[in-house]
Structure 1
C-alpha cells in the first residue's frame, strides 16, 4: 500500500536483469505509459543511449548515493529527476527500489524532497542493523539509527559530533579511523567481515559495509556504514563446523575428520601407528539396559581412553562401537603395543551406568605406516584385518597386521567369488544325516547339511565356506536354495519323518525369512509340522528383540524351532526364558567324554532336565559309541544323532535308508 499509493514515482527492478518488477501509479504518470507497458521495459530504456553504460556500471557496483539524472519519458521528452535508491529483497530476488523526483519544477521538488527525507529516515530507523554516517574529513558521527544505539549502548544525542577516539579505546579507534580513510580513498564499497567491537554486552563480531558519499562536486564528504551483529550467527556456524567434524555423543573427532588427519599424516614424513578398536559386548548392554545406557557407556569409554592418549595422539569415534587412534611421536611397535594393552585393560574394568555395573572389553588391530602402507586405504584395510584377527583369538586381545592376513583375506575373496559362481553351476548339494529316537531306534528326522564339490579343489569343508558366505551376504540366497531343495526332498518321505534345516544369523536380517519359509513349504507341499529350523545362540546376540519376533512368526506357521549347540554359549539359559524352543540340541563337546567325565555327564543330565521342564525335545549330537547311546537312553534323552547312527548321506541314500527301515519293521540300522 505504501509503495503503490506513494505520490513519489517509485519502481523496483531486478539488479541482475535490470528489468522492472514493480512500479507505482506515480511512476506510470511520470513516464507516460500504463503499468503493463512499463513492466516490459528495463532500467536502461529510461535513460539516454549515451548514459546507459554509465548507469549499468553504477548498478553493478551497487552505487546508491542520491544523484540527479535525465529520464526519457515514453513520448521522448527528457526531464531531470533526483533519484534515491536502496538495495532490497523483493519476491526472493535481489532488487533495488528507486524514488524519482522531477526537479524540473524546483519548488515541487523541494516539497517532495522533504517528504522523501522523512520516508528515508523511517527506513533507516527500521533497519535492524546499525546504520551510521561520519564526516569524511574529521571522522565525527553525524547519524546513528536506533539499532546502533542498542548495539553501542549510547544514545545518538550523546554520540553525534564525537569521533571514535571519544568512544572506544585508542587501539580500536585507530583501527576504525584507518579503515574509514581507506574506504573513502578507494571510492568503492568495502566489506569488513568479523570485525571485533567491544560493547557494553561484551565483545561482538560485526559484518560492516562502508562506502564514501561524495558532495555535489564529487569530493569525499561522508562515510556511510552498515554494521550487522553476526556474533550469534558466527557461533552457530562454528558449532555447525564442529558438529560436522565431531561425534555428537562423545565430542571426539568423527570418521570424516579422522580420515582427513590420516590423509595429512600419510603425506608427511613422520611415522605413526593406526589403531582400530572395537568394543566387546556393547550390543548386549544396549539391548538389556537401553540406548540411553549405551550412549552413557560410550561417553565413559571415550573419557577413559582419552586418559591414556599421548600429547600427539588422536582418538576418534568412527561409528557405533568402533574407535580409531593415530599414535604419533614418540612412536614404535613397543609404545603402540603398550597403548593397546593399556586401552584393553582400562576398558575391561567395570563401568557404573546409572547404578548398573556393566563389564565390556575391546579388541584392537594395529598397523604401522612405515611397514604396512603409506596410503589411508591401505592402512585402514590392514588395521581392520588385524582387528579381525584379534577378535578371532578371543575377546580382549590386540594384533599387529601381518601380510599373511592379507593373503588369507585374498583367498577368502577368491573363495567368495567362486562360491557365487557355484550357485549358477550347481556345485552345491545337500546331504542328510539321520536323527533317531533313543527309545525305539526309529529315524524321526534328517538334518540337511550343505556341501560344496569344487571342480578343482574337490570337497570344500563347510567350516571354510560358510563363514565366507555369511560375511559376503551370499548366505541369504544359499539359505533360500537349501530350504527349498530340502523341503522338496522331504516331501517324498513318509509323513512321520521330519526335516531339520540350519539357519544362519544373517538370514534374520531384512524381512524375507518368514516369506522364504512359507514359499518353500507351499512349493514342496511339505506340512509345516514336519519342518524344524535350527538356530544357534548367535541369532539372539544381535538384534535379539527383532529376531525373537521373527522366531514367533515362524512358530506361528507351525514349524518347530530348535536351539543348536546348547550349553556352549554364555547366555544359553537366558534364551530359554525369552522364547519357547521346541528342541534343545546338546553340543557334541559334552557327549564325547560323557561316559568318562562326571562333569560332562552332569551337564548332559542338567540339559535333559531343562528340556523336560520346558517341554522341549532334547537331541544329543556327535554320538559315536554304543556306550554313549546307552547312557543317553538311560538319562532320558529323547533323540540322538552321530556317526554311530548314520553319516551324512545323499538324498537317494536317505530314501533307501527310510525304505530299509520300513522293511526291518522300524528297527535302527547302523551306517
Structure 2
C-alpha cells in the first residue's frame, strides 16, 4: 500500500513530538522531588510512539512495518504484564541516563493498551486484512475518546497517578493521530468509507455525524456541571440525561427520515420519468422500424438503377442476384452469374488473383478490395474496381454485397498522367526524371558487368535563329523532327531524352570503350545537320555534344553534369563539334570553380588592384591617357592576369563589383594627372545594361573629384551590339555627363556603319590582331586604313592597340592614326604616375 503525503506528515509530527519529549526528560531535574509535569510522556511511551511513527512512514514496506509494529506490541504488552504480575520486567529502563527522581517510569495502562492495539494493527495488516487493521485503529480511538471524556468530565484526570487512564495530553494526541492516519489510509472500510462516500449515504452521514458525536458529549458534560452546582440529584440527572439523549437521537432520526423521504420522492420521480422514456422509446422504435422498411424498399430500388454494378452473394460466396448495371458491365446475365459463374469473364491475367482473394474473404471474413479487368463479349478489356461488404445479423455473416465500378476511363487518365510525368509532351521522349532512373540502372549494371555507360549531352546550335526567324511553332516542329532523327540515329538499346528547351541527352548503356560513344555522336551530328522542311521553309541546325563515359563509379547526377560541362567546352571551341569529358577538362573545371570561389571575396578583401598602361599621342608625342587594367592579387598565388578571371567574373555576375572597384580606383588615381590627360576604364556589358550604371559613374566622379572629360569608358564592339537596344538611355546619360566613350577591340564584332552612326562614341580602338602583322600583311594594312578613314569621316579618334615595334609605330603614324599603346611604350604599371612618365 502506498503511503499518502498526509500520513507521512502525521508520522513526522509524532516523531518530532516524541523526540521533543525525550529531550525534555534529559533536561528535567527531578532530584529535588519536583512533581512531574502532566504533559510529559514516560520514557517507554516515547520509545513506543517513535517506533509506531516510523512504522506509519514505512507502511508501504510491509516487512519493515510489521517488524516495527511487533516492537511496539512487545513494549506495550510487557508493560501490561508488569501491571498484572506486579513484577518489573525491565521495560522501564529502555533509555539509559535518565534521572527519574523517584517518579514512576512505567507508562499508564491506557498508553500500554494503545501501543498493543496499534502495534497489532501494523503486524496483522498484511495477514488479517483491512477490516482487522481498521478495527484495532477504531478500538484505539475509542480508548482515546474514553480518556478525553474522563478528563473532560473530571472522572480521571490525566495527571492523577495510579489511575488506568492517566495518559498525558501529548500521548493522547499522538496515539489519536496515528490511529486516525491508519483509518485514513483505508478509505473504503467502515465508517470512514461511508463518510468519504460522495453519494447520498455519505452526504447523510456527514451532516449527522457531528451531532451524533458532539451531542452526547455536550449533554453529559452539561448534566455533570448542573449536578455539581446542586441543581438536582444524581437520579434526576440521569433521567434528564436519558431524556435529552433520546430527544437528540429522535431529532437526528427525524432529519435522516426526512432526507430519506426526499430521496424516495426523487426515486419515484425517476421511475416515472423512466417509464415515460421507455414508452417514448418503444414508439420511436416502432416508427423507426416502419421507416427502415420503407428505406429498404427504396434501397432495393436504388440498387436496381445504381450506376455501379451490385452483386449479392450468399454466405458461401455464391451469387444470389445482381442488378442490371452488372449485366451491362460484364455481359453476364443473373443466371450465368450464379454460383461461381460471376468470375468467368475476368481477364485471364487477373482471374487467378481475384478468385483466390475472394475465396480468402469467404473463408476468413477478411475485407475484399480489388482492381481487375473484365473481358467483355466484344473483346474489350474493361477495368473495374470492386469492394465487398459483409451482411450481418445475430447469427453472424449471412452474405456479402459486392459493388463494382467501371474505372476504365480513370485508369486511362492515370496512365496518361503517369506517362506525362516521365515524358516530354512535345517530343514524347523520356524527360529528366525517367532519364536519371534509367541512368541509375545502367550505372549499376556497368559496375557489376565491368562495362561502360556513355552519355551524350546535345545542345542545338542556331536554334534561337529558327525561333526568331520562323516562329515558335516552327521551333516546336524542328524539335519534334530532331527527336525522330535522334531515335533513328542511335542504337535500339539507347535512350533519347529531352531535358530542356533545345537540350537532348542520349544514354548509351553497355558500351565497351569511349570510341563507341564518339561513333554515336558522329551519327547524331550527321542526322541532325540535314535540312528540315517546315512547310515551304527550310531550317538548318547543328549540334554541340558533350560526352561523358563511366564504368559505374559515378552517380547519375555527376555523369550528367560532366557531359553538360563537356558540351559547353564544345560550344566554346567553335560549335558543331563534340568534346569528351576527361581529366584535363576536370582540372580546368576545378580551377574555374576555385577561381570563382576566390573571386566572391576578392573585392571585399581589397584584392582587386588597378594597373595602368599609357596611351600615347602618336602625332604629337606625349602621354594622352592611361588605360586602367584590373589585376587580382590573390593570396599565396600572387598577381592573376585578367585573362584568367575576367571571363569567369562575367559569367557569374561578379564583374559588376569588380568593375565598380576598378572604376573607383582609376578615378581616384587619375586626379593626380594633368588636366589634358585622362584615364580609360573598360566596362563590361553586364555593367552597362544596369539601369544604375550612370549613377555609379556619377558617384565615382563626385567622390574622387575627377573631371568627367578626363574619364574614358571602353566597351567592346561585341558588347556594344548586345546592349544597343537595351542601353540607349545609359549612352545618353553618359554623353550628357561629359564622359568620353570608346569602342574597344574594333573590327572583331561585326558592327555596321548604321550601328556606328546611331551610337555617339568618341574613340575606336583597333584590335591588336590587326596590328600584329601590320608591317607584312597588305590585307591588315587595308583594314586599318579603312578603319582610320571610317573614323575620320565620323569625327572619331582612333587608338591602335598592341604596338610592339618601331616599324608598326612609323607605319601607323604615316597612316594618320592619332593614338597608340603597347609594350613598345610601356608595360602595365601599378602606379599611374609612373605609367604616364614612361613613353
Q: Same fold (TM over 0.5)?
A: yes
1:326 aligned partner: 507
1:229 aligned partner: 406
Shift of 1:653: 1.7
Per mean C-alpha deviation after superposition, the further-off stretch among 228-237 and 510-519 is 510-519
2:79 aligned partner: none
The structure 1 residue matched to 2:417, chosen from 216, 225, 240, is 240
2:759 aligned partner: 580
For residues 602 and 285 of structure 2, the distance between their equivalents in structure 1, rounded to whole angstroms, comes to 97
- Larger helix fraction of residues: 2
2:662 aligned partner: 482
Give CA deviations for 1:222-278 in whole Å, capped at 9, x if unaligned: x42333333333333323322332233333222232222222222222422223333
Per mean C-alpha deviation after superposition, the further-off stretch among 625-634 and 402-411 is 625-634
1:363 and 2:544 are equivalent in the alignment? yes
1:208 aligned partner: 386
The structure with higher relative contact order (CA 8 Å, sep 6+) is 1
For residues 450 and 468 of structure 1, the distance between their equivalents in structure 2, rounded to whole angstroms, comes to 14
Cα 1:428–1:217, aligned 2, differ >3 Å: closer, same or farther?
A: closer
Cα 1:166–1:187, aligned 2, differ >3 Å: closer, same or farther?
A: closer
For residues 277 and 551 of structure 1, the distance between their equivalents in structure 2, rounded to whole angstroms, comes to 33
Shift of 1:591: 1.8
2:292 aligned partner: 113
5 Å-filtered alignment, 1:186-197, equals 186-196=364-374
2:224 aligned partner: none
1:341 aligned counterpart, secondary structure = helix
1:557 and 2:738 are equivalent in the alignment? no
For residues 102 and 184 of structure 1, the distance between their equivalents in structure 2, rounded to whole angstroms, comes to 37
Shift of 1:430: 0.9
The structure 2 residue matched to 1:152, chosen from 293, 318, 329, is 329
Shift of 1:477: 2.2
1:220 and 2:398 are equivalent in the alignment? yes
The structure 2 residue matched to 1:433, chosen from 613, 624, 629, is 613
1:665 aligned partner: none
The structure 2 residue matched to 1:274, chosen from 441, 455, 476, is 455
- Where does structure 2 lack aligned partners over 5 or more consecutive residues? 1-272
Per mean C-alpha deviation after superposition, the further-off stretch among 198-207 and 471-480 is 198-207
Contact 1:246 1:253 in 2 (8 A): yes
For residues 455 and 256 of structure 1, the distance between their equivalents in structure 2, rounded to whole angstroms, comes to 43
5 Å-filtered alignment, 1:26-175, equals 108-117=287-296, 120=299, 129-136=307-314, 138-144=318-324, 152=329, 163=337, 170-172=344-346, 175=351
Contact 1:134 1:143 in 2 (8 A): no
Per mean C-alpha deviation after superposition, the further-off stretch among 204-213 and 350-359 is 350-359
Contact 2:374 2:382 in 1 (8 A): yes
For residues 356 and 588 of structure 1, the distance between their equivalents in structure 2, rounded to whole angstroms, comes to 42
Give CA deviations for 1:361-395 in whole Å, capped at 9, x if unaligned: 3333333323x944335534544454454444432
1:20 aligned partner: none
Cα 1:160–1:378, aligned 2, differ >3 Å: closer, same or farther?
A: closer
1:313 and 2:313 are equivalent in the alignment? no
The structure 1 residue matched to 2:523, chosen from 323, 342, 355, is 342
1:602 aligned partner: 782
Give CA deviations for 1:39-67 in whole Å, capped at 9, x if unaligned: xxxxxxxxxxxxxxxxxxxxxxxxxxxxx
For residues 661 and 649 of structure 2, the distance between their equivalents in structure 1, rounded to whole angstroms, comes to 13
Question: What TM-score results when the alignment is normalised by the length of structure 1?
Answer: 0.69
Give CA deviations for 1:420-476 in whole Å, capped at 9, x if unaligned: 454344333112233355555565543211123445444332222323434554333
Shift of 1:107: 5.9
Contact 1:447 1:501 in 2 (8 A): yes
For residues 677 and 275 of structure 2, the distance between their equivalents in structure 1, rounded to whole angstroms, comes to 108
Shift of 1:486: 2.1
1:603 aligned counterpart, secondary structure = helix
2:38 aligned partner: none
1:251 aligned counterpart, secondary structure = coil
Shift of 1:485: 2.0
Question: RMSD between aligned alpha carbons?
Answer: 4.3
Cα 1:611–1:117, aligned 2, differ >3 Å: closer, same or farther?
A: farther
The structure 2 residue matched to 1:395, chosen from 569, 572, 575, is 575
Shift of 1:589: 0.8
Contact 1:255 1:318 in 2 (8 A): yes
2:747 aligned partner: 567
Contact 2:614 2:835 in 1 (8 A): no
2:510 aligned counterpart, secondary structure = coil
1:327 aligned counterpart, secondary structure = strand
For residues 284 and 358 of structure 2, the distance between their equivalents in structure 1, rounded to whole angstroms, comes to 37
1:55 aligned partner: none
Shift of 1:339: 1.3
2:803 aligned partner: 623
Cα 1:356–1:554, aligned 2, differ >3 Å: closer, same or farther?
A: farther
1:464 and 2:644 are equivalent in the alignment? yes
Per mean C-alpha deviation after superposition, the further-off stretch among 386-395 and 243-252 is 386-395
Shift of 1:130: 0.8
Cα 1:364–1:523, aligned 2, differ >3 Å: closer, same or farther?
A: same
1:304 and 2:488 are equivalent in the alignment? no
Cα 1:303–1:388, aligned 2, differ >3 Å: closer, same or farther?
A: same
Cα 1:142–1:231, aligned 2, differ >3 Å: closer, same or farther?
A: closer
- Larger strand fraction of residues: 1
1:52 aligned partner: none
5 Å-filtered alignment, 1:386-425, equals 386-420=566-600, 422-425=602-605
Contact 1:587 1:621 in 2 (8 A): yes
Give CA deviations for 1:515-541 in whole Å, capped at 9, x if unaligned: 644543454455666544433355479
For residues 610 and 166 of structure 1, the distance between their equivalents in structure 2, rounded to whole angstroms, comes to 98
- Where does structure 1 lack aligned partners over 5 or more consecutive residues? 1-74, 82-100, 658-669
For residues 655 and 188 of structure 1, the distance between their equivalents in structure 2, rounded to whole angstroms, comes to 94
Contact 1:540 1:575 in 2 (8 A): no
For residues 515 and 276 of structure 2, the distance between their equivalents in structure 1, rounded to whole angstroms, comes to 89
2:680 aligned counterpart, secondary structure = strand
Contact 1:277 1:387 in 2 (8 A): yes
The structure 1 residue matched to 2:628, chosen from 443, 448, 461, is 448
For residues 295 and 404 of structure 1, the distance between their equivalents in structure 2, rounded to whole angstroms, comes to 37
Cα 1:102–1:446, aligned 2, differ >3 Å: closer, same or farther?
A: farther
For residues 579 and 306 of structure 1, the distance between their equivalents in structure 2, rounded to whole angstroms, comes to 48
Cα 1:315–1:500, aligned 2, differ >3 Å: closer, same or farther?
A: farther
1:172 aligned counterpart, secondary structure = coil
For residues 468 and 617 of structure 2, the distance between their equivalents in structure 1, rounded to whole angstroms, comes to 38
2:506 aligned counterpart, secondary structure = strand
Contact 2:330 2:374 in 1 (8 A): no
Per mean C-alpha deviation after superposition, the further-off stretch among 480-489 and 421-430 is 421-430
For residues 651 and 289 of structure 1, the distance between their equivalents in structure 2, rounded to whole angstroms, comes to 54
For residues 645 and 666 of structure 2, the distance between their equivalents in structure 1, rounded to whole angstroms, comes to 19
